[in-house]
Amino acid sequence: DGVMMSALSRPSRMMLLVNPQSGKGQALTLYNNHIQRMLNEAGVTHTLVITERQNHARELVKDADLSQWDAVVIMSGDGLLFEVINGLLERPDWEEAIRTPLGILPGGSGNALAASINHYSGAPPVFSEELLLSCGFLLCQRLVTRMDLVSIHLSSSPRLFSFLSLAWGFVADVDIESEKYRHAGAARFTVGTLVRLASLRVYKGRLAYLPAAKDNREENPPLPHCNHQAPLSRDPPCQNSFHNSCHSNNSLKVRRAESTPSRSATKAPTGPPDSLLLPLDQPLPGDWVVVKEEDFVLVLAMHQSNLAEDLLAAPDSTPDDGFIHLFYVTGGISRAALLKLFLAMEKGTHLASNCQHMVHAKVRAFRLEPSSPKGVITVDGEVVEYGPLQAEVHRGLARLITG
Ligand code: ADP
Ligand code: MG
């Protein structure tokens, strides 16, 4: 019967979460006009779930019976996937849950991951509905890659996981101020950038990071035998010895924590432990690089290639390279030079532009301590608690359908 047929071909039971309010409010129309037929023709069985409010998706995936689903796909902006990932990592079975293949169809105004997936596929950049169609086709191929996640410690909020970016200064302010231009769709960032340029300012703070390569090795070795680019399937056991040992270590730590009497009253922490970070109120480890400048125009940490549909901020980033691509622009840059940087970023050529005020480093972890009492920090485009923070990359922790 039909169920057997689909089980014998590529497993394809997807939970498709659509946010009807995302972007210009057209996600449901776009689903009805394009996506439904595309998935049906590709034999992808899916169940449509319309999100009703903020945190609805997060609560749903936190309690869902994940054995029913081969993938969880969202049709919205990046904000909805942020909820899904953090919901999965809040589950007691987070280790298994976070290996659920995740997919994204651009329906929001911030579609950076969708644009990144299009970039990874080698296709030329496309926007709006063309990006949706490209991502729809890639989704139908159901090929799964690993995806890095970055754990982020804020001063008093619980730890978060980020799949996309962390921004402070110019980029974070544009992201938030441009909310009022959301009827413009993805163009809201362009408009916001121009508006913000007029009131360009300097943000004071301290930045430090753990460089990825002390030995000038520019690339991480690939994760071998690890279901890389494997057809979508329910969490095949990972053959990679590095990863297996990493996993068993993690579960050992969790189990120990659970059996410690003093912890038994509190909930066991979920998610992988961070091995590179000391508490925020303690001095940095000796092998970290402390940035001399304390005047910034922006600090931006990227874990995917695209910051927006038309901003290729980290052109050589891949979903599982194990790097945080850290950028900062120091105070003293002119408006004209900053505008030039953002214009070059549309093609991803800003790194070659030799701007003295912009620095790029591949790092494993960083700490940022803004000194002004008020300000904006965004993680994956969402505002988070403002204040000192630190972050560490967890290579290949999640799974992403990249086609
Ligand atoms: P956009 O790129 O348009 O901002 P996002 O995916 O980032 O799209 O969605 C923005 C926010 O909308 C998310 O934080 C999500 O929790 C919230 N949300 C989801 N469903 C609804 C809904 N039905 N009404 C209002 N907000 C919602
Ligand atoms: Mg958003």
pLDDT, position 306:
98
pLDDT, position 229:
52
Q: Which atom of ligand 1 is nearest to the CA of 19?
A: 20
Helix (H) or strand (E) holding 102: strand 101-106
Lowest model confidence (mean pLDDT) among 13-22, 179-188, 202-211, 215-224: 215-224
Using the CB atoms, write b or e for 330-359: b if 16+ within 10 Å.
bbebeeebbeebbebbeebebbeeebebbe
* Proximal ligand: closest to the CA of 81: 1
pLDDT in tens, 49-63: 999 999 999 999 999
Instruction: Pinpoint the residues of the chain covered by CATH 3.40.50.10330.
Output: 2-148
Residues near ligand 1 with C-beta < 6 Å?
Answer: 19-23, 51-56, 76-80, 83, 108-110
The whole-angstrom separation of Cα 119 and Cα 398 is 19
pLDDT, position 247:
35
pLDDT, position 12:
78
Residue 157: pLDDT band with limits 50, 70, 90: very high
Q: Which atom of ligand 1 is nearest to the CA of 80?
A: 6
pLDDT, position 52:
98
Cβ–Cβ under 8 Å, residues 14 and 70: yes
Q: Which atom of ligand 1 is nearest to the CA of 83?
A: 16
Q: Quote the distance between the C-alpha of residue 98 and its chain's center.
A: 13
For residue 185, pLDDT beyond 90: no
Which residue has the CA at smallest separation from atom 9 of ligand 1? 79
Q: Which residues are near ligand 2, the ion (C-beta closer than 5 Å)?
A: 77, 79, 110, 381
Residue 236: pLDDT band with limits 50, 70, 90: very low
For residue 246, pLDDT beyond 80: no
Distance 60 CA to ligand 1 centre (A): 15
Tell me the range of 213-227, 228-242, 303-317 where mean pLDDT is highest.
Answer: 303-317
* Proximal ligand: closest to the CA of 185: 1
CATH architecture of the domain formed by 160-214+276-396? Sandwich (2.60)
CATH architecture of the domain formed by 2-148? 3-Layer(aba) Sandwich (3.40)
Q: Quote the distance between the C-alpha of residue 240 and its chain's center.
A: 23
Cβ–Cβ under 8 Å, residues 331 and 299: no
For residue 22, pLDDT beyond 80: yes
- Positive or negative, the Cα torsion across 257, 259, 260, 264? positive
Distance 340 CA to ligand 2 centre (A): 25
Q: Give the residue numbers marked as catalytic.
A: 78
| Mean pLDDT on 281-285 | 97
- In the three-class reduction of DSSP (H, G, I as helix; E, B as strand; rest coil), residue 359 is classed as strand
Instruction: Provide φ and ψ at 94, rounded to 5°.
Output: -55, -35
Lowest model confidence (mean pLDDT) among 98-102, 264-268, 350-354: 264-268
Distance 79 CA to ligand 1 centre (A): 6
For residue 251, pLDDT beyond 80: no
Instruction: Pinpoint the residues of the chain covered by CATH 2.60.200.40.
Output: 160-214+276-396
| Mean pLDDT on 121-137 | 97
* Proximal ligand: closest to the CA of 175: 2
Which residue has the CA at smallest separation from atom 8 of ligand 1? 77
Distance 178 CA to ligand 2 centre (A): 11
Average pLDDT value over all residues in the chain: 87
| Mean pLDDT on 210-221 | 73
Cβ–Cβ under 8 Å, residues 209 and 276: no
